[in-house]
Amino acid sequence: MRQTLTVLALLVAAVPAFAQSRSFTLGKWVEIQNSILKELNRSYVDTLPLNRIERLGIDAMLEGLDPYTVYVPEEEQENFQMMITGVYGGIGAVIFKPDVQGNVIINEPYAGSPAARGGLVCGDEIVEIDGTSTHGLTSSESSEKMRGKPGTTVVFKVKKLRDGETWKAGDVIEVPIVRERINMPAIEYVGMLDDGQTGYILQTKFTDGVSSAVRDGFLKLKSRGMKRLVLDLRGNGGGLLNEAVGIVSLFVPKGSVVVTQKGREESAELVHKTTTDPIDTTLPIIVLVDSGSASASEIVSGALQDLDRATIIGTRTYGKGLVQSIRPLPYNGQLKVTTAKYYTPSGRCVQAIDYSHRNEDGSVGHIPDSLTHEFKTLHGRTVRDGGGITPDFEVKGHRYSRLTYSLVMNGIIEQYALKFVRDHESIARPEDFHFTDYEDFVAFAKDKEFDYRSSAKTMFDEMKKTLEEDGLSETMTEELAALEKSLDIDKESFLRLKKDEIVPFIEEEVVIRYWFQEAGVQVRIRYDDQLREALTKPSISY
């Protein structure tokens, strides 16, 4: 009896000792950090940039945990809230500023936005914002001046691209616009595909209210005779958990488990079930995913897969199964901190096993089956964990050349679209528009500065550099020269070679300027081989 009491006493004593150890460690490092800062402040040779080094220290500390635990100071709250809600106060337009000394160019007003209703069109140049010249302002500084509290007025001086009722092209006129709450749409497109039976919803975010938007889109398509639905979550980086649960609720019985979250604290362990009656439990659904589909996208695709309610098609998803919670901090700051992990209805953890098995884009890389576990869907199909959601049918997307990526990333195609708008007052409707003057684009692009090397030439340049560093290049001078000559291709020739790959991007950027974002999606669908192949796959149905 005495021995038992002694063991119990030791166990009881161990708990506060462990807590004391953690508290001691925390206090030790806080004291060390404070001492270092005080000493630096007292004796460092230059004036100490306290704000900068403290922020760097906080960011570095949090980066050591995971990519999603971040500090948000007061001055960054507005942008942070916009990421969560998709809402900001402004005029609703994308701008382009070719250089600091130039004017701000209206690149793309949103459909129905204050900018569009105020008569601003693609190609108009903003000379002043509320009396401040745009010359000398950066693009972000110009954007900040355009944003503001909804209901307030911002006055622009605008150099008009085309003739109007009371002005001529080139005239500078005053345009007052009342700022509004601009809601960046999470649903970019709702429509029927060419077969007349397949509905298509393109969802790009999980912001507030998106589940209601999916519901409305689904009912609209069903009224038009939809026999199956494609929910496109490719490139959708996620967002609000409750909106993911809301979308799954539309298609599975009330009371179904959608996702479970488990964390260190008891309060972080929650089971999220559907709480509303579905609108349809039988219509075939295809969910398109890729390596850019993350977080809430993985909850939706994982739940619909585990419940055997949808066919998941594409490539394996990102592998981000971590739950973030918002915690208040002093001086109106916030900490977005990882507090739990997601688990699909079958019990799979969406989170990648570790951060070492990652592709260049951050998505989960190859995980051997020996490191994964089997789980069963509602009707007994085998699925595996290991990070992300593995589709029922793998259908890879188009692999674009390095040249095309360079044209897009350097804004060459976007700049050409602005030139096209200046040269053409109107175009055909999106379904009828086809870009035919490719030589005009070649003439435009060949004079722009961008890296047009092929992937092979890039690899050769790296290999040649390594050989030179190792002192081996001189022994194979002729061979290297011959190989380099065969890989060299001039800019114009390479642009012509990749015409079929580049034209769809030009068409999309051009139609957006005349017919807004939805028109761009219509063009994208026209060339979407991955979508077309997905439609040939059989449905998972029980």
Going 480 to 481 to 482 to 483, the CA torsion angle's sign is positive
Verify whether residue 99 is a known catalytic residue: no
Tokens of 338: 């990882």
Query: What would the two tokens of residue 260 be?
Result: 């479970």
Chain centre to alpha carbon of residue 328: 26
- Is 537 exposed, middle or buried, given 0-12, 13-18 or 19+ CB atoms closer than 10 A? middle
- Phi first, then psi: give them for residue 377, nearest 5 degrees: -75, 180
Give the span between the Cα atoms of 413 and 510, in whole angstroms: 9
Quick one: CA dihedral 342, 344, 346, 350, positive or negative?
negative
Query: Residue 45 has what DSSP assignment?
Result: S
How far, in Å, are 73, 105, 155, 171, 239 from residue 120 at the CA level?
A: 34, 10, 12, 13, 32
Tokens of 56: 């760097």
Tokens found for residue 314? 């594409």
Distance CA 309, CA 281 (A): 8
Is 495 exposed, middle or buried (CB count within 10 Å of its CB: 0-12, 13-18, 19+)?
buried
Longest dimension (CA), the chain: 101
Q: Spell out the SS3 assignment of 510-540.
A: HHHHHHHHHHHHHHHHHCCHHHHHHCCCCCC
**First vs last C-alpha separation in the chain:** 61
Say which of 211, 256, 291, 295 is annotated catalytic: 295
Backbone phi, then psi, for 138, in 5-degree steps?
A: -80, 170
Amino acid at 12: V
Catalytic residue among 232, 290, 306, 528: 306
Select from 519, 513, 528 the least CA-distant residue to 432. 519
Q: Of these residues, 145, 320, 457, 498, which one is catalytic?
A: 320
β-bridge mates for residue 313, sequence order: 288, 393
Task: Residue count of the chain, please give it.
Answer: 542
Q: Where are the strands (E) in 36-143, listed by range? A: 70-72, 87-90, 93-96, 104-109, 125-129, 132-133
- Catalytic site residue 212? no
Query: Do 371 and 353 meet the contact criterion of CB atoms below 8 Å apart?
Result: yes
295 is catalytic: yes
> Tokens standing for 317?
């998803």
Active-site residues, by number, are 295, 306, 320
